[in-house]
Amino acid sequence: MTALDMWTYGVVGATFALYIGIAIWARAGTTGEFYVAGGGVHPVANGMATAADWMSAASFISMAGLIAFNGYGASVFLMGWTGGYVLLALLLAPYLRKFGKFTVPEFIGDRYYSQAARIVAVICLILASITYVIGQMKGIGVAFSRFLEVPYDMGLYIGMGIVAIYAVAGGMKGITYTQIAQYVVLIFAYTVPAIFISLNLTGNPVPQLGLGSGYVEDGVASGLTLLDKLDLVVTELGFKEYTTQVMGSSLNMFVYTLSLMIGTAGLPHVIIRFFTVPKVRDARYSAGWALVFIALLYTTAPAVGAMARLNLMDTIQIGPVGAEDGNLLYDERPDWFKKWEETGLLQYEDKNGDGRIQYYNDANPEFAPKAESFGWKGNEMVKVDRDIMVLANPEIASLPAWVIALVVAGGLAAALSTAAGLLLAISSSISHDLLKGVIAKNISEKAELTAGRLSMIVAILVAGYLGLNPPGFAAGTVAIAFGLAASSIFPVLMMGIFAKRMNKAGAIAGMIAGITVTLLYVFQHKGIFFVPGTAFLMPEMGMGEDWFFGISPNAFGAVGALVNFTVAYLVSAVTAPPPEHIQHLVEDVRVPGGAGAPTGH
Amino acid sequence: MTPENRAGYWRANLGLLSILLIVWFIVSYGFGILLVEPLNAIKLGGYPLGFWFAQQGSIYVFLVLIFVYATSMNKLDKKFEVEED
C-alpha cells in the first residue's frame, strides 16, 4: 500500500465515521423530523446544507472540466446554476415556507384543490429526481474504484450503505447535519488545491483574483495575463480562443442558461430544504446563505478550469509549437499521466511515429497546413476525459498526497450529500403524498414514519440498481432532470403564488404540456426513452440536428417552461376560476405573518 | 389586516421584485451573453469585462440581490405590520 492509498483510506474512512456518528446523534422520532428536520434549522446552517445538497458530483468533478474545455462557453453552467437561487429566493422559497407543509406536491395538490394535480406533480418529481440520482450513484462508484482500487460495484454498495444508515435513520434531520459536515469537507477539498495552483501560476493565493492576474513563469512575471497566455497557448495549437469560444450560439447559451436557472429553482430536493427553517424571514436569508456557500465553489471553478487547461497544455507542449523538441517525449511523461492512462480516461496514440506527443486541434482546417508542415499526422491525445481535470489537478501540480486524498473525500461528500437529498424528496413524495395523501389517509404518524423509512430503502435500492445497470443514458441524465423540473414544477409553483386566477385545469394542462414538449424534443435527439436507434429526427420536415433555432436538447427546458405557462393561461382563461377559499389561501401565502411550524395536515 | 393594506404590501413586493429581476437579467443575460463582445474590449485587471461578468461578476451580483431582497422585505413586513412574532 502506497502513502497515497493510506492517506486516502484514512481521510475517506474518517469522513464516513463522522457521517455515521451524526446519524446516530440525529435520529428522527416524528414525521416532522423525518420530512423537515422539525422545522427548526438555523438559516445559516440550512444554507450550508442546501449548498451541499445542491452541489453534486457534477459540480464538484465535472464542472471545472467543462470550463477547461469550453472556456467562456461554460459560463452557462456558472450563471445557470447560481442565478436560479435568485428566482428561488424571490419567487418561491418564502411563500412555500409560509404555506408550511412537508412536500412540493402537497402544495400543488392544495393550491389547485386537486388530487390529480398532486399525483401529476409526484410523477414529475420522481422522474426528475431518479434521473438525477443515477448520476450521483455513478460518481460514488467511480470515485471508489479509481482511488481505493476496489471494484466499481463494491464502491457503489459501500456508498449505498452509508447513505442508508444516515438517511433512513435520521430522515431530513440526519441528512441536514451530515450535509453540513459534507459541505465543509467538499469546500476544503475544492479550494485547497486551487489555492496552491493559483499561487504557482500567478503568485496570487486567491483563485478568483489569480485568474485575472499576470502569468508567472518559473518564478518570473511573464508580462502576460494568465488569460492572455491561455488564449495564446490554445490558439497556437488550433483550438478556439478560450475567453471567447461560445457553446452552440449566443441564442443557445441564452436559452441554456435560462433552462438551468428555472430548473434549479424547480428542483424539489432544493425547495424542501427551505421548509426546514423556522420562519418566512429565515427562508429569504437562507437562500442568500446557500448562494454564499455555493459561490465559494462556483467562483473558484473558473480558475480551476483555466489553470488545469494551461497546466495540461504546458505539460505536453514543452517548447515552441512546431520546433522539433517542442513536444514531450512519450517516454518522459509524468506519473499522473501513466496513472490516468491505466483507467482509459487518457489515451495516446503515436500517429506520426516520432515518440513525442502532439496535442492539437486536428479538426481545424485552418491549422491543418501548419500541422502538416510540422510533420504532425493528427491529434495524438485521442482521449482526454473532461472529468479527470479536478481529480488529476493536484497531481498535475505535484501537490502532496494528503491533498489528493482530500479531493477524493470531497468528491464522495458531494455525491453522497446530493444523493441523500434526492432520496428524501423521493421517499417523502411516496410516503406522504401518495400513501398518506391518496391511498391510506387514516394511517397513524408512526405508520407513516415507518412507510417513509421503507420507501427510502426502496429508493436507495432502485438508485443502486440503476447505478449498476445504467440505462445507457447516464451522461444525459442530469440535464434531463433540469429540463423536467423547469418545464413542469417551477411554472405551476410560481403561478400558484403570483396568479390568483390560475385554476386546476390550467395547472394540470400546463404541467403535462410542458413536460411532454421537453421530453419529445429530448427523445427526438437521444431516442425514445433513450433507447439507441429510436431517435426520430425528420430532416425532410426541416427537423435536423438541433432544428429548433439551434437549441440543444439539454437547453430545451426553458422552452418547455414557456409552453407550460402559455397552455396554463389559455386553459385557465376558458375554465371556471378557483373557488373562493383557494383565493384566500393565495392571499394568505403572500404575507408572512402567522407561519407556524410545518404540518402534514 | 385590511384588504387595502394587503394589496399595498403585495404591490410594494412586486415593485421590488421587478427591479431586482431586471438587474438579475442585465448582469447575466445582458452583460454576460448579449453584450459580451463589446464589454470584452474593456479590461478589469487581467479579465476581459464581459468574460468576468459571465464567470464571476454575475454570481457576486446574484448574492447582493438576494440579501437586498431579504433586508428590504424585512422592512416592508414591519411597515405593513405583517412580520412574524
Contacts A207 to B, Cβ<8 Å: none
Angle at A259 between CA A255 and CA A261, to 5 degrees: 115
Contacts of A268 (CB under 8 A, 6+ apart): A103, A104, A125, A128, A129, A425, A429, A485, A489
pLDDT band at A502 (very low <50, low <70, confident <90, very high): very high
Contacts A250 to B, Cβ<8 Å: 33-34
**pLDDT of A541 over the 70 cut:** no
Interface contact A212-B63, CB threshold 8 A:
no
Task: Give the phi and the psi of residue A537 in degrees, each rounded to 5.
Answer: -65, 140
Helices A580-590 and A104-111 sit at what angle, rounded to 10 degrees? 140
Q: CB count, 10 Å around CB of A472?
A: 12
Contacts of B61 (CB under 8 A, 6+ apart): B23, B24, B27
According to the model, what pLDDT value does residue A544 have?
A: 66
Domain range A3-201+243-305+399-590, CATH class = mainly alpha
Interface contact B66-A288, CB threshold 8 A:
yes
CA-based max dimension of chain B: 56
Contacts of A84 (CB under 8 A, 6+ apart): A260, A261, A262, A263, A264, A265
Interface contact A254-B29, CB threshold 8 A:
yes
Look at strands A346-348 and A381-384 and give their pairing: antiparallel
Interface contact A254-B44, CB threshold 8 A:
no
CA distances to A21, A78, A79, A307 from A295, rounded to whole Å, are 29, 9, 10, 19
pLDDT, one tens digit per residue, over A53-68 is 999 888 888 889 899 9
Mutate to test the interface with B, among A91, A209, A243, A494 (most CBs of B within 10 A): A243
The answer to whether A145 and A151 have CB atoms below 8 angstroms apart is yes
Share of chain A above pLDDT 70, in %: 94
Nearest residue to A556 (alpha-carbon basis) of A171, A143, A259 = A259
**pLDDT of A481 over the 60 cut:** yes
The answer to whether B47 and A286 have CB atoms below 8 angstroms apart is no
Measured CA to CA, the distance from residue B76 to residue B10 in angstroms comes to: 10
**pLDDT of A475 over the 60 cut:** no
Mean pLDDT for the stretch of residues A165-185: 91
Q: Quote the mean pLDDT of chain A.
A: 88
Return the H-helix or E-strand segment holding B47: strand B47-48
Higher confidence at residue A471 or residue A193?
A193
Phi-psi region of A421 (alpha: psi -120 to 50; beta: other; left: phi over 0): alpha
Measured CA to CA, the distance from residue A79 to residue B27 in angstroms comes to: 10
pLDDT band at A599 (very low <50, low <70, confident <90, very high): low
pLDDT, one tens digit per residue, over A304-326 is 999 999 999 999 999 899 888 89
- Return the minimum-mean-pLDDT range out of A188-202, A287-301, A455-469: A455-469
Mean pLDDT for the stretch of residues A286-303: 97
Measured CA to CA, the distance from residue B64 to residue A288 in angstroms comes to: 8
**pLDDT of A431 over the 60 cut:** yes
According to the model, what pLDDT value does residue A17 have?
A: 92
Mean pLDDT for the stretch of residues A90-113: 94
Measured CA to CA, the distance from residue A418 to residue A402 in angstroms comes to: 24
Nearest residue to A559 (alpha-carbon basis) of A507, A499, A502, A517 = A517
Q: CB count, 10 Å around CB of A6?
A: 12
pLDDT band at A474 (very low <50, low <70, confident <90, very high): very low
Return the H-helix or E-strand segment holding A70: helix A63-70
Among B32, B36, B63, beta carbon nearest to A288: B63
Among A72, A288, A591, beta carbon nearest to B54: A72
According to the model, what pLDDT value does residue A500 have?
A: 93
The answer to whether A48 and A196 have CB atoms below 8 angstroms apart is no
Measured CA to CA, the distance from residue A350 to residue B69 in angstroms comes to: 58
Domain ranges of chain A: 3-201+243-305+399-590
Number of H helices, E strands in chain A: 27, 4
Measured CA to CA, the distance from residue A443 to residue A458 in angstroms comes to: 20
Q: CB count, 10 Å around CB of A347?
A: 14
Chain B residues bordering chain A (beta-carbon distance below 8 Å): 1, 6, 9-10, 13, 17, 20-21, 24, 28-29, 32-34, 36-37, 40, 44-48, 51-52, 54-56, 58-60, 62-63, 65-67, 69-70, 73-74, 77, 80, 82-84
Contacts B13 to A, Cβ<8 Å: 590
Cα dihedral A59, A62, A68, A69 in deg (nearest 10): -130
Measured CA to CA, the distance from residue A463 to residue A465 in angstroms comes to: 5
Determine the 3-state secondary structure of A587 from DSSP.
Answer: helix
pLDDT, one tens digit per residue, over A346-380 is 899 999 989 999 999 999 999 999 999 998 999 99
Interface contact A82-B59, CB threshold 8 A:
yes
pLDDT band at A210 (very low <50, low <70, confident <90, very high): very high
Interface contact B47-A214, CB threshold 8 A:
no
Domain ranges of chain B: 17-79
pLDDT, one tens digit per residue, over A9-47 is 899 999 999 998 988 888 888 888 888 888 889 999 999
Determine the 3-state secondary structure of A383 from DSSP.
Answer: strand
According to the model, what pLDDT value does residue B10 have?
A: 95
The answer to whether A107 and A290 have CB atoms below 8 angstroms apart is no
Contacts of A406 (CB under 8 A, 6+ apart): A11, A185, A188, A189, A192
Interface contact B62-A253, CB threshold 8 A:
no
Model-level ipTM above the cut of 0.95? yes
Higher confidence at residue A579 or residue A143?
A579
Contacts A82 to B, Cβ<8 Å: 58-59, 62
Among B34, B67, B77, beta carbon nearest to A250: B34
- Return the minimum-mean-pLDDT range out of A157-161, A180-184, A253-257, A424-428: A157-161
> What distance in Å separates residue A99's CA from the closest CA in chain B?
14
Chain B residue with the nearest C-alpha to that of A208: B56
Contacts of A323 (CB under 8 A, 6+ apart): none
Q: How far is CA A370 from the centre of its chain?
A: 40
The answer to whether A555 and A255 have CB atoms below 8 angstroms apart is yes
Question: Could you tell me the three cell numbers for A430?
Answer: 411516496
**pLDDT of B33 over the 80 cut:** yes
Q: Give strand ranges (E) for A174-289.
A: 214-217, 220-225
According to the model, what pLDDT value does residue A597 have?
A: 60
Question: Could you tell me the three cell numbers for A566?
Answer: 402559455
Nearest residue to A31 (alpha-carbon basis) of A444, A582, A531 = A444
According to the model, what pLDDT value does residue A305 have?
A: 95
Q: Is the dihedral of CA B32, B35, B36, B41 positive or negative?
A: negative
Measured CA to CA, the distance from residue A416 to residue A140 in angstroms comes to: 7
Higher confidence at residue A153 or residue A559?
A559
Contacts of B2 (CB under 8 A, 6+ apart): none
Interface contact A291-B47, CB threshold 8 A:
no
Mean pLDDT for the stretch of residues B62-73: 97
- Return the minimum-mean-pLDDT range out of A20-34, A260-274, B44-58: A20-34
pLDDT band at A165 (very low <50, low <70, confident <90, very high): confident
Interface contact B69-A295, CB threshold 8 A:
no
Question: Could you tell me the three cell numbers for A295?
Answer: 459561490
Contacts of A478 (CB under 8 A, 6+ apart): A56, A58, A131, A132, A135
Which residue is listed with cell 438508485? A463
> What distance in Å separates residue B82's CA from the closest CA in chain A?
5
Angle at A122 between CA A118 and CA A123, to 5 degrees: 120
**pLDDT of A249 over the 90 cut:** no
Angle at A264 between CA A50 and CA A208, to 5 degrees: 70
pLDDT, one tens digit per residue, over A211-243 is 999 999 877 888 899 999 999 999 999 999 999
Q: Which letter does DSSP use for residue A215 in this model?
A: E
Cα dihedral A195, A198, A202, A204 in deg (nearest 10): -30
CA distances to A31, A112, A208, A477, B56 from A129, rounded to whole Å, are 21, 23, 32, 10, 29
Contacts B76 to A, Cβ<8 Å: none
Interface contact A291-B63, CB threshold 8 A:
yes
The answer to whether A426 and A101 have CB atoms below 8 angstroms apart is no
Nearest residue to B57 (alpha-carbon basis) of B81, B30, B21, B76 = B30
Interface contact B55-A72, CB threshold 8 A:
yes
> What distance in Å separates residue B42's CA from the closest CA in chain A?
13
Q: Give strand ranges (E) for A371-434.
A: 381-384
pLDDT, one tens digit per residue, over A382-396 is 988 887 888 888 887
Beta bridge partners of A538: A543
